[in-house]
Amino acid sequence: MILMGISDEAGALMETQIRATRELGWNHIEARAVEVPGFPKGNIHDIPEEAFKQVEKQIKDSGVNVYCFGSTIGNWAKKITQPFEPTLEEVSRAIDRMTRLGTKYIRVMSFAIEPGNEQYEEERFRRMREITRRFLDAGITPVHENCMNYGGMSYKHALRLLENVPGLKWVFDTGNPIFNNDRSKEEPYPKQNAWAFYWQMKPYIEHVHIKDAYWDILKGDAVYTFPGEGKGYVKEILSDLKSNGYNKGISIEPHIAVVFHDENVKASEEKQYRSYVEYGQKLNQIIKELK
């Protein structure tokens, strides 16, 4: 297993992300957002070229490998009814920057869930085929995450997406099923089950996000926990992966001190950094104890 984290959860600056990675004894990161002094914070494929050159130098000087880009391509903020061209521009920038960094995996999604029953499936599949083709032609493997998008609506939607998009692989997030509705069922939708979703996606998994939580019925929201302390079946999934010889990426996405898509969740820089490192240490221990 190749251990890493979605490193902006340790801190906004790349130097902070690298420091946390080294403290955990890891050699890889999954790069998502980054802040360069003098430039606006943004995803690594969206920051200005001059800012990226600084990040590129920091990464190469550190010896840390960018295993995966945690891109915003087709994510929960992008609607399938919007023009496709901005997405293709993201793809082009990502390919250029990944090539420069030697990165071979990129996390993508299948656009936000539409209200109601009309999900524009054929248009989603068409776009995802084009996105996938461009990355594969560049020697890059796109991995789709089960999040707040079409492919995350249920494992049945995920399998339908893969059936219609040849070459697309999966990054399984252990925590996302906990707060996502199972839209293959009738309303009122039940929540998904992480173990059941994992079992269905197992043949297609090329990367894994470790997140854990439980659903608080009274609050009507997910409560994020350290790995193995929630309902994400983290230990069971890691054990099953190990028993099957899994030797690819395992990336923490703690959400303990900061939630990427929720600006209301804030923490001091030091608390954010320490919680990220503690989360990684707990993952290290879980893996060490696997039979």
Name the CA dihedral angle for 136, 140, 146, 151, rounded to a multiple of 10 degrees. -10
- Measured in whole angstroms, the distance separating CA 266 from the mean position of its chain's CA atoms is 20
Cα–Cα dist 150/17, whole Å: 30
Q: Report percent pLDDT > 70 for the chain.
A: 97
| Cα–Cα distance for residue pair 170/196, rounded to 1 Å | 15
Do 39 and 48 touch, CB atoms closer than 8 A? yes
168: DSSP letter: -
Tell me: cis bond preceding 142? Omega within 30 of 0 counts: no
φ, ψ (nearest 5 deg) of residue 280: -65, -40
Strand pairing class (212-216; 33-34): unpaired
Do 213 and 259 form a contact (C-beta atoms < 8 A)? no
The pLDDT of residue 43: 98
8 A C-beta contact, residue 100 and residue 53: no
Residue 190 pLDDT: 98
Per residue in 64-79, pLDDT (tens digit) is 999 999 999 999 999 9
Give the tens place of pLDDT for each residue, 175-214: 999 999 999 999 999 999 999 999 999 999 999 999 999 9
Give the DSSP H/E element, type plus range, for residue 170.
strand 169-173
* pLDDT tens digits, 88-113: 999 999 999 999 999 999 999 999 99
Dist CA 209 CA 30 (whole Å): 10
pLDDT at 262 over 80: no
Query: For residue 183, what are its two tokens?
Result: 């839209």
Beta strands 65-70 and 28-31: pairing type? parallel
pTM: 0.95
Tell me: pLDDT of 260 over 70.
no
Q: Helix 121-137 and helix 85-101: axis angle, to 10°?
A: 30
Residue 16, both tokens = 């902070």
**Residue 291 predicted with pLDDT over 90:** no
Residue 226 phi/psi, 5° resolution? Answer: -70, 160
In 3D space, the residue among 276, 251, 189 whose CA is nearest the CA of residue 12 turns out to be: 276
Kindly tell me the burial class for residue 76, based on how many C-beta atoms sit within 10 Å of its own C-beta (0-12, 13-18, 19 or more): middle
Please give the pLDDT value at position 266.
64
Written as one letter, the residue type at 149 is N
Q: Is 63 helix (H, G, I), strand (E, B) or coil?
A: coil
The CATH superfamily assigned to 2-289 is Divalent-metal-dependent TIM barrel enzymes (3.20.20.150)
Could you report the per-residue pLDDT of 267-283, keeping only the tens digit for each? 789 999 999 999 999 99
pLDDT at residue 258, as a whole number: 72
Beta carbons within 8 Å of 259's beta carbon, 6+ residues apart:
224, 265
pLDDT in tens, 208-233: 999 999 999 999 999 999 999 999 99
**Residue 263: predicted pLDDT:** 63
Average pLDDT, the chain: 96
Asked whether residue 261 carries a pLDDT value surpassing 60, the answer given is no
